[in-house]
Amino acid sequence: NAGVTQTPKFQVLKTGQSMTLQCAQDMNHNSMYWYRQDPGMGLRLIYYSASEGTTDKGEVPNGYNVSRLNKREFSLRLESAAPSQTSVYFCASSEGVQVHGYTFGSGTRLTVV
Amino acid sequence: KQEVTQIPAALSVPEGENLVLNCSFTDSAIYNLQWFRQDPGKGLTSLLLIQSSQREQTSGRLNASLDKSSGRSTLYIAASQPGDSATYLCAVLKGSNYKLTFGKGTLLTVNP
């Protein structure tokens, strides 16, 4: 059982380039999330999708867009990357979150130069 | 706004010692609290989840307690081992959007 799978694991972008981070879960969870983790800042929510067909902004959505492609997949897009978006990005999913909590992927380490 | 604080930020102990990690949160109206482990360069692994109606949860050498009224949780690790070295994060769940608010973590080093 793979859980939450993120691709790629590492990426270097030049300022202004675009890219899409992919996330897929095989646990039949309804809700999916994108977080970023920065030193001294902890993890912060970028966007979330409570269910297929819905997406909402989190704490730090500026500069990002998301797509809930189907129940399994939730992608994060950077249209014009900036050095401030250098971070580690985590995808997570949940079902019955009050009882079962979140399951996280292994992360994508992104560097924007 | 919910704020989560973890003390200490870093802790170094000799192997075999029992230890306690602390987590406090400002808004006691939470659904649950989850403790995670993060190894360097890796993702988050869920250790324990305590629902708001529960007082504690145990898994092996780990015991987590929750005092919702005072806004505190502790993670107790018994007989620590070098393999326990990692960053430990606590996170609280509140609100209709089910958003987790994380602390900044405690970096634990267990020395052989």
Whole-number pLDDT of residue A43 = 92
Count Cβ atoms below 10 Å from residue B16 Cβ, excluding itself.
11
- Helices then strands, counting H and E runs in chain A, come out as 1, 11
Q: Which residues in chain A have Cβ-Cβ distances shorter than 8 Å to B36?
A: 104
The band of A41, judged by pLDDT with boundaries at 50, 70 and 90, is confident
The band of A19, judged by pLDDT with boundaries at 50, 70 and 90, is very high
List A residues 51-70 in contact with B (Cβ-Cβ < 8 A). 56, 58-59
Contact A48 B97 (CB under 8 A): yes
Contact B99 A107 (CB under 8 A): no
What is the CA angle B22-B26-B27, rounded to 5?
A: 120
Comparing A101 with B17, the larger pLDDT belongs to B17
Q: Is the pLDDT of residue A100 over 80?
A: no
Q: Do A72 and A26 touch, CB atoms closer than 8 A?
A: yes
How close, in Å, is residue B88 to chain A by CA atoms? 12
Q: Which residues in chain B have Cβ-Cβ distances shorter than 8 Å to A44?
A: 102
Of B32, B44, B104, the CB nearest to A104: B44
Q: Which residues in chain B have Cβ-Cβ distances shorter than 8 Å to A47?
A: none
**Cα–Cα distance between B109 and B10 in angstroms, integer?**
8
Provide mean pLDDT across the span B76-99: 90
- A50-94 pLDDT tens trace: 889 999 999 999 999 999 989 999 999 999 999 999 999 999 999
Which of A98, A106, A109, A111 to probe the B interface (max B CBs under 10 A)? A98
What is the rounded end-to-end Cα distance, in angstroms, of chain A?
36
Structure tokens at B89: 């994060």
Residue with tokens 């897009």: A77
Of all residues in chain B, the percent with pLDDT exceeding 70 is 96
Averaged pLDDT score across all residues of chain A: 93
Q: Out of A19-33, B60-74, B95-109, which region has the weakest mean confidence (pLDDT)?
A: B95-109
- B1-28 pLDDT tens trace: 889 999 999 999 999 999 999 999 998 8
**Cα–Cα distance between B13 and B64 in angstroms, integer?**
19
Residue A50: Cβ-neighbour burial (10 angstroms; 0-12, 13-18, 19+):
middle
Instruction: Give the number of beta-carbon pairs within 8 Å between A and B.
Output: 60
Chain A's closest residue to B102, CA to CA, is A43
Whole-number pLDDT of residue A95 = 85
Pairing of strands B106-111, B10-14: parallel
Whole-number pLDDT of residue A1 = 61
**Contacts made by residues B78-81, CB under 8 angstroms, sequence distance 24+:** B78/B18, B79/B16, B79/B18, B80/B13, B80/B15, B80/B16, B80/B17, B80/B18, B80/B19, B80/B108, B80/B110, B81/B15, B81/B110
